[in-house]
């Protein structure tokens, strides 16, 4: 937070007024004019915002914008709390605790400081996480490492490569489990990406995020982090999973397979759901219990790192009135593959056939998933499905659209052969296909 | 089925052989060669299929393709069952039963005949439905009307207009309730479309489909149809709803609001789910029970028909590696609006800002929904959301992506004014916004 403008986003007369009162962002202030009076934390403003509003966060958690007037009374009631992190306690833990690396990539779970001052901009280091959750040092010898710090909506395939490489480095250095803190928006995509990039994994790799930042009473950051570090240290499985709340209670955290999980709620603590499969395991009463009986066990095997992703893949969601020219556009732009998120059992309108035929003729791989999300596609039931198969469309069984997209970016970077990539797409590499579809959704 | 090629899709030597045995599609046949023997129904083949395979549907319901060999023994065991529909019984029902119109648009619920012969191609009339489900005549005086007969993946915005107009005609002629049979793939989109096109509705409009065709023992066609006709005849509500199974049991059928429902499973009988709201009502023990207490009651008011939809709307699902040039493409193609299906609380990567800014500058409406599906977007929590709001993106609260797409095609056709369309998008017209988000998803 050093060298940061203490009145970020405020300009003109309003800025002068605030400055003259020695007010800075994060201070508790009181604004009075006429009969009205507001108390709250001064919030930063966007650079692009107008200069006529003062924005404060009320005690209720809501922000209000108040139009500035010259005769307003604005006073500081309390100075902004300075971040009070102290370095984590030196591990007094006995030296036989497993060594775990926490790789930080950003997101709400690492957003405490900035939230305290209003917006959610910055990140805190994994070492800081230790001072928020000191229990971690009783579970493992924890090393913290900031890989980058971004909101996960800005994460791109090249970032998946960086994560995969960093994990591989850590495993080579002897860590017995890896935790990756991540923003929840695209955490499912990243977990799928590392599921394919890291094969023959000898230790668990646990993605973890939080839906509520750690300075809110309802935060899920600590409980998720404790579960993630416990799994990294003790779990019998060596797979890429995602640790989040099972229900709204802090009592149980589940580990979803990286290829079978998606964010299914914008804000709830149990936003992540395993789709067409059960979660792999659960953390309850400080113990890991397996739910799925078939899993890859920890072992001394050699990790295989295949960290390339081909970004020339499009994900197109079909809908009535869908314009097949988007497919032509992708072909013309040099795309190598398309995931069509079709309707029902795997359908798009017959108007798309010509563009699909051309795309496949030009060497693209076109795969089909369903926007229903749950269930399995079956392109043999109706003539639409059969025609699409005949055109060369690849049906992806019960694979999630998001996982299918990630897998195709990965498969296309493994070789220049279309046939090789198609073979990879059809092979169950990391649990992305289920043998039968489970109805866990209701 | 008259004048249809009895060996549709079979060519060359195989066709000659089948013809010489007087075998036609739908016949039960036996194929023997070497040690092997198969029994099943001869299936039609696609025109584009090869000429070397004979395809039969086994008793198990699975299709197998058998490579044709000259010395094969192929015999007919039983001739194809001819469709045995008899015209529905003349309504002996007392003349005080309500008059209901069943408008057929196609889909599995109307696919019995063709399924019997193998593929699922044709449609049956609503009158035929009466002969499958004779109970209907005890519930209402039913009139059947085939509007068109298509798989619902081929339905387009112009078909929504046709449906809306037909419903309006029927209501003008005095029908006391309308049922629309529809393929399930895009039934949710059509139900949303008619929710906006038909306002001030005096009677219920019930969409109904089936996930299993009516000649399968597990078919949901009859139970769904009985519930739909019952609601059209007796329900107290006058809204556009969608009638499907509540669970896997035939005992309860629920009526989902047309703006709040999506198909969430590829094959289960309870594939449709109300999202961020409860279903409006339930049909159980032959009675309609209301679940939602706030609804539009039946009444003598005058229907308002606004049946235009502007097809120049794109639905773009965001993902890591999303190429913002797709937004530019839509602008260049003359699109008038874009629904961005963002991540989490309503985010896309900052790489998209420039293209979004340009699109809005060119007069497009850009709205945000969440690919999480459940929950409400909130673009005030993180800086990404605030920046997007600043660029002019319209957040759509807890509206479904599919409903948002349909509503924007409709709103843009109501006037040439961007401001008018934006006002419509922000107004709760047909229950598309919920006041608070219900956690009915788990």
pLDDT tens digit string along A377-399?
999 888 899 999 999 999 999 99
Torsion, Cα of B78, B82, B85, B87 (10° steps):
-140
Asked if the structure places residue A84 within a domain, the reply is no
Residue A162 lies in a domain: yes
The CATH number linked to A119 is 3.40.50.1170
A317 contacts B319? CB cut-off 8 A: no
- When mean pLDDT is compared across A58-72, A329-343, B288-302, B309-323, the lowest value belongs to A58-72
Q: Is residue B364 part of a domain?
A: yes
Kindly report, residue by residue over B347-403, the tens digit of the pLDDT. 999 999 999 999 999 999 999 999 999 999 999 888 899 999 999 999 999 999 999
| Of the partner residues A152, A319, A342, the one whose CB lies closest to the CB of residue B402 | A319
Domain shared by A65 and A23, yes or no: yes
Q: Tell me whether residues B349 and A156 touch, CB distance under 8 A.
A: yes
Residues of B with active-site annotation: 108, 184-185, 263
Which residue of the set A57, A263, A336, A407 is catalytic? A263
Look at residues B34, B49, B78 and tell me which one is the last residue of a structural domain.
B78
Torsion of CA B394, B398, B402, B404, to 10 degrees: -30
Asked whether the beta carbons of A407 and A378 are under 8 A apart, the reply is: no
Is the domain of B281 the same as that of B206? yes
Count of domains observed in chain A: 3
Is A27 in contact with A79 (CB distance < 8 Å)?
Answer: yes
Lowest mean pLDDT among A219-223, B75-79, B211-215: B211-215
pLDDT on residue A82: 56
The nearest CA of chain A is from the CA of B319 a distance in Å of: 8
Q: What is the pLDDT of residues B260-291, one digit of tens each?
A: 999 999 999 999 999 999 999 999 999 999 99
Do β-strands B99-104 and A261-263 pair in parallel, antiparallel, or remain unpaired? unpaired
Is B143 contained in some domain? yes
> In sequence order, what are the beta bridge partners of A158?
none
Give the pLDDT mean for A178-191.
Answer: 97
Whether the pLDDT of residue B436 is over 90: the answer is no
Q: Which of A78, A108, A134 is the last residue of a domain?
A: A78
**Residue range B40-48: mean pLDDT, rounded:** 76
Question: Domain check: are B266 and B322 in the same one?
Answer: no
Residue B176, classed as helix, strand or coil, is coil
Pick from A313-327, A428-442, B6-20, B335-349: least confident = A428-442
- Same domain? For B332 and B196 the reply is no
pLDDT at B289: 97
Catalytic site includes residue A263: yes
Asked whether residue B266 falls in the same domain as residue B176, the answer is yes
Average pLDDT over every residue of A331-352: 97
Q: How confident is the model at residue B214 (pLDDT cuts 50, 70, 90)?
A: low
Indicate the pLDDT class of residue B88, thresholds 50, 70 and 90.
very low
What percent of chain B shows pLDDT beyond 70?
Answer: 87
Contact call for B189 and A441, based on CB within 8 A: no
* Nearest neighbour of B376 by CB, restricted to A267, A313, A439: A267
Q: Report strand pairing: A281-284 vs A287-290.
A: antiparallel
> Of A218-227, A433-442, B422-431, which range is least confident?
A433-442
Task: Check whether residue A259 and residue A397 sit in a common domain.
Answer: no
Is residue A432 situated within a structural domain? no
- Answer yes or no: do B225 and B374 share one domain: no
The full DSSP string for B247-306 is: SSSTT-EEEEETTSEEE-BSS-TT-EEESSS--SEEEETTEEEES-S--PBP-SPPPEE-
Q: What percent of chain A has pLDDT over 90?
A: 64
- Judge whether B432 lies within some domain: no
Q: Which of B160, B372, B383 has the CB atom closest to A263's CB atom?
A: B372
> For B346, which DSSP code?
T
pLDDT band, very low/low/confident/very high, at B31 (cuts 50, 70, 90): very high
Write down which residue in A78, A110, A132 finishes a domain.
Answer: A78
Query: Is the confidence metric ipTM above 0.85 for this complex?
Result: no
**Whole-number pLDDT of residue A357:** 98
CATH number of the domain where residue A358 is located: 3.40.50.40
Q: Note whether A227 and A350 are same-domain residues.
A: no
Please state, in angstroms and as integers, the Cα–Cα distance from residue B145 to each residue in B131, B166, B169, following that order. Answer: 15, 10, 12
If asked whether residues A356 and A422 sit together in one domain, one would say yes
Residue A71 lies in a domain: yes
Here the contacts of B126-130 (C-beta below 8 Å, separation 24 or greater) are B126/B102, B126/B181, B127/B87, B127/B88, B128/B85, B128/B88, B129/B102, B129/B104, B129/B181, B129/B225, B130/B88, B130/B89
Q: Which of A176-180, B4-8, B87-91 has the highest mean pLDDT?
A: A176-180
pLDDT at A126: 58
Residue B64: strand, helix, or coil: strand
pLDDT at B86 over 50: no
**Residue A39's domain spans which residues?**
12-78
d(CA B288, CA B233): 10
Asked if B147 and B258 sit in the same domain, the reply is: yes
Look over chain A and give the mean of its residue pLDDT values, rounded to a whole number. Answer: 88
The pairing of beta strand A177-181 with beta strand A287-290 = unpaired
The pLDDT tens digits of the residues spanning B188-211 come to 999 999 999 999 999 999 999 998
- Measured between alpha carbons, how far is B315 from B399 in angstroms, rounded to an integer? 14
Supply A12's token pair. 């003109």
Share of chain A above pLDDT 70, in %: 87
- Is B431 inside a domain boundary? no
Q: Are residues A246 and A343 in the same domain?
A: no
Mean pLDDT over the full length of chain B = 88
- Interface test with chain B among A106, A123, A153, A337, by most B beta carbons within 10 Å: A153
pTM of the model: 0.81
CATH number at residue A68: 2.30.30.520
A319 shares its domain with A298: no
Give the span between the Cα atoms of A44 and A26, in whole angstroms.
8
């Amino acid at each position: 937070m050093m060298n940061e403008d203490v009145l970020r986003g405020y300009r003109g007369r309003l800025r002068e007024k605030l400055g003259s009162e020695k007010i800075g962002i994060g201070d508790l202030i009181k604004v009075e004019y006429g009969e009205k009076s507001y108390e709250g934390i001064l919030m930063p403003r966007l650079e692009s915002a107008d200069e006529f509003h003062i924005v404060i966060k009320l005690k209720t958690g809501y922000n209000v914008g108040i139009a500035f007037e010259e005769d307003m009374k604005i006073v500081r009631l309390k100075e902004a709390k300075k971040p009070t992190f102290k370095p984590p306690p030196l591990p007094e833990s006995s030296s036989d605790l497993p060594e775990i690396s926490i790789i930080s990539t950003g997101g709400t779970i690492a957003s405490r400081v900035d939230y305290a001052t209003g917006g959610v901009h910055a990140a805190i280091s994994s070492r800081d996480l230790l001072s928020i959750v000191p229990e971690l040092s009783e579970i493992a010898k924890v090393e913290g490492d900031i890989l980058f710090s971004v909101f996960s909506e800005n994460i791109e395939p090249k970032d998946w490569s960086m994560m995969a490489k960093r994990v591989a480095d850590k495993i080579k250095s002897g860590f017995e489990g890896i935790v990756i803190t991540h923003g929840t928006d695209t955490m499912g995509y990243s977990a799928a990406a590392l599921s394919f990039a890291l094969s023959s994994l000898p230790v668990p790799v646990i993605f973890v995020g939080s839906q509520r930042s750690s300075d809110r009473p309802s935060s899920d950051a600590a409980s998720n982090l404790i579960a993630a570090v416990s799994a990294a240290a003790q779990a019998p499985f060596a797979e890429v999973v995602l640790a989040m709340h099972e229900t709204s209670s802090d009592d149980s955290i589940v580990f979803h397979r990286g290829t079978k999980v998606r964010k299914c709620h914008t804000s709830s603590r149990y936003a992540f759901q395993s789709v067409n499969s059960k979660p792999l395991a659960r953390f309850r009463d400080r113990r890991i219990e397996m739910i799925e009986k078939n899993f890859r066990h920890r072992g001394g095997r050699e990790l295989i790192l295949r960290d390339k992703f081909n970004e020339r893949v499009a994900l197109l969601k079909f809908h009535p009135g869908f314009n097949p020219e988007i497919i032509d556009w992708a072909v013309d732009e040099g795309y190598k593959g398309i995931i069509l998120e079709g309707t029902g059992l795997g359908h798009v309108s017959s108007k798309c056939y010509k563009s699909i035929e051309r795309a496949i003729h030009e060497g693209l791989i076109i795969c089909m998933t369903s926007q229903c999300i749950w269930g399995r596609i079956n392109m043999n039931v109706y003539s639409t499905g059969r025609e699409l198969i005949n055109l060369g469309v690849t049906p992806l069984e019960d694979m999630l659209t998001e996982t299918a997209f990630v897998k195709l970016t990965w498969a296309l970077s493994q070789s220049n052969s279309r046939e090789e990539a198609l073979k990879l797409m059809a092979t169950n590499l990391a649990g992305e296909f289920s043998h039968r579809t489970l109805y866990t959704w209701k």
